[in-house]
A and B are shown apart, each in its own frame.
Chain A
Amino acid sequence: MNRFPPWKYALLIIALGFGILYALPNLFGDDPAVQVSSIRGFELEPDLVNRVETLLDSAEIEYDAIEFQPQRLLVRLDDTDRQTRAADLLRESLNDEDYVVALNLAPSTPEWLRALQAEPMVLGLDLQGGVHFLMQVDMDAARTQQLERFVGDIRTVLRQGNIRYRSVRLDRNEIIAELRSAEDRDRAIRLIERELEELVLEPRDGGETFNLRASIDEEILQELQQTALRQNITTLRNRVNELGVSEPIIQQQGAERIVVQLPGVQDTAEAKRVLGSTATIEYRGVDEQNDPFEANRTGRIPPQSRLYFMRDGSPILLSRTVIASGDNLVGAAAGFDQQSGQPNVVVTLDGVGARRMLEHTSENVGNRMAVVFIEHRPDTREVDGEEVQTTRRVEEVISAAVTREPFGRRFQTTGLGSATEATQLAMLLRAGALAAPMQIIEERTVGPSLGQDNIDQGFRSVIIGFALVLVLMAVYYKVFGLVANIALTANLVLIVALLSLLGATLTLPGIAGIVLTVGMAVDANVLIFERIKEELRNGNTPQAAIRAGYEKAFSTIADANVTTLIAAIVLFMFGTGPIKGFAVTLSLGIATSMFTAIVGTRGVVSLIYGRRKRVQALAI
C-alpha cells in the first residue's frame, strides 16, 4: 500500500488552488479603455472624474466605468468604436491643459481577483507591438560641458577677486589658468577652493607664466554624470508623455544608458522626433510698468515687452531680453528654506548665466522675474482632410517671483504653495535642460500585426505541443500517463500563475520557454515510470515497485534538473530583454515541474492504487 500523508494532499490542494486563482486573470481579456494622465507626471485632481463624466455624458458616449488613481484616470468602454470617440472627445477638451489622453487596453480582471493582487501577465513588446530604444548618453560630452561651465566660473571668481589672468582655457580633461605671479596664483587657489569646491587644483609652472590646473574631482564627476543621466531620464519622460503612450518604460541601464520602451507606438519616426525634441526654459524680467490685462484685451503690447500667459491662464508682460536660458542651468533642486522652513527651489547657473543674472538682479530688486517654459509639442492637424504632423511651440510662464536681493550663481525661489509645487517647479526646470547629448544605439520595433501574429503562433504552438505530449504519454503509460498529464496541466497552470504573480513580462522566447518546459517536464515522470517498470521486471510487487520507483528516481531527477537550472540562471544573468524572459519561464518551469511531477503524481497514484490491499498489475 502507498498512503500519502494528509499534509501533502493539503499542500497539493493549496498549491493548485493558488495556481488556478492567480492564473485566472489571464482568461478575462482586455477592455478597450482611454487613459488620462498628467503630461508631466503630476498627480491628478480627483474632480477630474466629474469633468470626464460630464464630457462623456454630454457627448452621449456610453462607458462602463471610470477608475481614478492619482497617476491616471481610466475610462473603460465596451468597444473600440466608443473608445476612439471618447479618446477624440477627451483629447479635444483636455489636451491643451497639460493632460495626455491615450488609448489603452485595461485588463478586465474582476474586482475580487484584483483585491488579491491577481493580475494577468504583462505582454512584452514583441507580443503587443511597440518600440524599444536603447540610448547612449555621451558622458565625454557631459564632462566637457561641465568643464566649460567651470571655465566661465573660474573667470568670474578671478574677476570678482580682482586677480588678473592671462587666460583660462580648456585643455582636454582639464582647465588651465595662466596667472601672472605666484602670489596671484596662491590667492586664486584660495578663492577657487572656497567658491568651487568641485574642482581639484594643482599649481604648475609654465614657461613664463604661473599656471594652475583644475580638474573635476573624480567622485564629483561620477556624481555629475549620474545626475546628468537622471536628468536625461526626467527629460525623456516628459517628452514621452507628449506621445500619449499608456504605459511607457524609461529606465537606466548600466552607467550610461537609458532604455525607452513605448508599447503600442507604431510611428517610430514620430517617436524619434519627440525623443530628440527640445524643451528649454528662459528667465525674463517682468514688465511691471504696463498692465498685462489691458495689453491682452486691446492687443497693444509695449515694444520692449512680450505677452505671455501664466499656467492659470492670466496674462503677464515680460521683457524681450532673456537673462538666462536652459543652457545656463546647471541644476535645480527642491527643498526647504533654512530660515523660514518654506518649500523652495534652489537653482544653480553656470558662469555666463550667473553674470547676467547678477547684472539683472542688481538693477531689479523688488521687481518680479519670470521663468518661461518652452517646448515643441508634436501636433496632428487636419488640413484638407489629411492629417499633417507639425510641431507647435508652446510657451508658458511657470513661475514669477519677486527679487529680494541681487544674486548670481545660486539662488532660491520661495513663496511656493507647497512642497509638491516646489518639486514640480524643480522638475520642470530640469526638464528644460538635457544634461548630456544622447544617441539611439539600438532600436527594436514590432508592428501591431506582427505582435498579434506572435501571440497567435506562440499560443498555437504551446497548445499543439502540449496536446501531442498528452497523447503520447496517455498511449504509452496508460493510467500512469493520464496521471502525468494531470501533473503537466497543473504545471502549466502554476507557471502561468507564477509569471502573473511576479509581474514577469511574457515574450515570444518566454512562450518558447514554456513550450520547452512542457516537453521536458514529463522527464521526471518518465524517469519514475521507467523505474517502476524496471522494478516490476525485477519481480517486485506493484506497491513496492511504485514506492521504489519514486524513491530511487528522486536524486536522478534532482541532479538532472539542477544542471538545467544552472544553464537557465546563467542565461538570466547574461541575457537581455526577451532572452531573460526565456530564462525566467525555463527556471520557473523546472521548479514547478519538480513539484507537480514528483509530489503531484505521487498523490494521484496513491489515490488510485494506495488504498487497495492487493494490486495485481499496474497499467503502466
Chain B
Amino acid sequence: MDIIKTDTHINFMGQRKLALVISAIILAIGIASLFVRGVNFGLDFTGGTLIEVTYPAAPDLTELRDTLTGAGFDDFTVQTFGTATDIVVRMPADQGDASGADLSTQVLEALSETTPDIDLRRVEFVGPQVGQELAEQGGLALLYAIIGILLYVSFRFQWRFAVGAVAALIHDVLVVVGILSLFQVNFDLTVVAAILAVIGYSLNDTIVVYDRLRENFRVKRKGTPLELCNLSINQMLGRTVMTSLTTLLVLIALFYFGGEIIHAFAFTLIAGVIVGTYSSIFIAGTAAIMLGISKQDLMPVAKEGADQPDQETEVLPERFRRGGA
C-alpha cells in the first residue's frame, strides 16, 4: 500500500518560477507584518512580570482590573490563559517604586484579598538587563547556527550547495517569523529554541535532496542539471513527505496535548516543518541551479573520493561470507 505514490515524475523545477513568486509573496506579507504589527515579544525579551493564577470559578475580568487599579497598579494587562478560570497578569519591568521582584508578591496579595482561595500557577519576573541579554544570546545563537551549517555543508558538498541550503534556511526562518508576527504569537525563549530546531530540520530536508543530487550528478551520464535536479526531488519525494508527516504528527500531539506553555513552541515548529518541506522541494534545488551548479563541481575529487573505497570494503566481507556459506 502506498499512501504516497512513490515513483513520481512531477516537473517541480518547471514550476520553479511560480514557486519563487509564491515565496516572494509570502515573504512580502511576512515582512510587511513584521513592520506593521511587529513581533509580539514575550517577557523573556522585554523584561517585566507575569503572574498566572487559577480561580475556583471564572472571575470577572473587569472586576479584577478594578481590584488591581484599586491596589495602586496602573500599567498592566489581565487576560485569561487557556481556560476561563486561568488568569494571567502582565506588567512592565518598571512599575513605580516597587522593585521588580517584589511586584509579583504585591499583585498576589492584592488578588488573594478579594479571592482567598486562588492557586498560584507561576510567576515570571525578568529584569530589563536580563531581557536584553537573552535577546542578544538568541540572535547570536541563530547566527552561529547558520555559520556552523554553512561551513559543514561547504566542507561536505560544495559552496554552491552551502549557499543554496542557507538561502532555503533563511527563507524558512523569515517565513516562520513572518507567520509568528501575523498571528501575534508570544515570542519567548522556547520559540527561539523552536526556530533553531526548524533550522536543523529544514537543513535536514535540504541536505537529503542535495545528497541525491550529488549522487545523480556522479552516476547519471545524461541529463542537464535541471533534469537531474527534478529527478532527485522526485526520488526523495516519498521520504520528504513521510518524514514531514511523522514529525507533524508528533508536533500536533504536542500542540493539542502539551499544554498552554508549549503552545507557541509547537506552533512555530509546525509552521517550520511545513515551510521547510516546501522549501526543500521548491527552493533548495532552484537556488543551487540559479547559482550555476554543474556536473564538474561534483565530480569526485581526491578528497571526496576517499568516501568510496570505505563503502566498498564494507561490502566485501559480506560477499566473501556468502561465498563461504
Contacts and interface: CB of A to CB of B under 8 A. Distances in A.
B127 A571 contact: no
Given A475-B1, A519-B249, A556-B208, A566 B130 contact: no
Interface string B238-268: 1100110111111111101111011001100
Contact of B144 (A447, A562, A570, A582): A570
* A-B interface, 10 closest residue pairs, ranked by CB to CB distance from nearest: A465-B250, A567-B200, A465-B253, A441-B127, A564-B200, A574-B141, A440-B101, A519-B247, A519-B250, A457-B259
Contacts, number: 258
Contacts of B322: 1
A461 B261 CA distance: 13
Contacts of A559: 156, 207-208, 211
Interface residues of B, number: 87
Interface string B12-46: 00000000000000000000000000000000000
23 contacts: A1-B325, A442-B127, A447-B121, A449-B54, A461-B257, A472-B249, A508-B262, A509-B265, A515-B253, A518-B250, A523-B247, A533-B6, A563-B149, A563-B153, A563-B203, A564-B201, A567-B149, A570-B141, A570-B196, A574-B137, A574-B140, A575-B193, A576-B189
Contacts of B193: 509, 571, 575, 579, 582-583
Interface string B188-203: 0110110011011101
Contact of A567 (B126, B197, B245, B250): B197
Contacts of A123: none
B249 A564 contact: no
Contacts of A433: none
Contacts of B265: 509, 512
A567 B149 CA distance: 8
Contact of A563 (B190, B200, B239): B200
A568 B262 contact: no
A466 interface: yes
A324 to B, nearest CB: 31
Contact of B152 (A473, A512, A562, A574): A562
Contact of A469 (B127, B207, B249, B314): B249
Interface in A400-450: 439-447, 449-450
A553 to B, nearest CB: 9
Interface stretch (A67-75, A264-272, A388-396): A264-272
B105 interface: yes
Contacts of B208: 527, 556, 559-560
A563 B207 contact: yes
Q: Is the interface of A mostly helix, strand, loop or mixed?
A: helix
Nearest to A534: B235
A510 B250 CA distance: 14
A196 B57 CA distance: 67
B65 interface: no
Contacts of A458: 258-259, 262
Given A449-B54, A465-B250, A547-B318, A567 B122 contact: no
Which of A442, A476, A519 has the most chain B CB atoms inside 10 A of its CB?
A: A519
B105 A574 contact: no
Interface in A320-355: none
A561 interface: yes
A361 B238 CA distance: 89
Contacts of B99: 439
B277 interface: no
Contacts of B253: 461, 464-465, 468, 515
Interface of B: 1, 3, 6-7, 52, 54, 99-102, 104-105, 108-109, 119-127, 129-130, 134, 137-138, 140-141, 144-145, 148-149, 152-153, 156, 189-190, 192-193, 196-197, 199-201, 203-205, 207-208, 211-212, 215, 235-236, 238-239, 242-243, 245-254, 256-259, 261-262, 265-266, 269, 307, 311, 314-315, 318, 321-322, 325
Contacts of B196: 567-568, 570-571
A450 B249 contact: no
B254 A476 contact: no
Nearest to B102: A272
B258 A574 contact: no
A600 to B, nearest CB: 17
Contact of B251 (A519, A563, A575): A519
Contacts of B203: 560, 563-564, 567
B262 A512 contact: yes
Interface in A524-556: 526-527, 530, 533-534, 537, 547, 551-552, 554-556
Which of A134, A464, A516, A582 has the most chain B CB atoms inside 10 A of its CB?
A: A516
A381 interface: no
A41 B108 CA distance: 33
A571 B141 contact: yes
A579 B201 CA distance: 17
Contacts of A564: 200-201, 203-204
Interface string A443-487: 111110110011001101100111011001101101000000000
Given A1-B325, A443-B101, A512 B200 contact: no
Contact of B130 (A441, A473, A511, A526): A441
B119 to A, nearest CB: 6
A579 B190 contact: yes
Contacts of B1: 475-476, 478
Given A440-B100, A563-B203, 5 more contacts: A439-B99, A441-B126, A526-B242, A563-B204, A579-B193
A158 interface: no
Contacts of B141: 570-571, 573-575
B205 to A, nearest CB: 8
A520 B207 contact: no
A533 B123 contact: no
B245 A472 contact: yes
B307 to A, nearest CB: 7
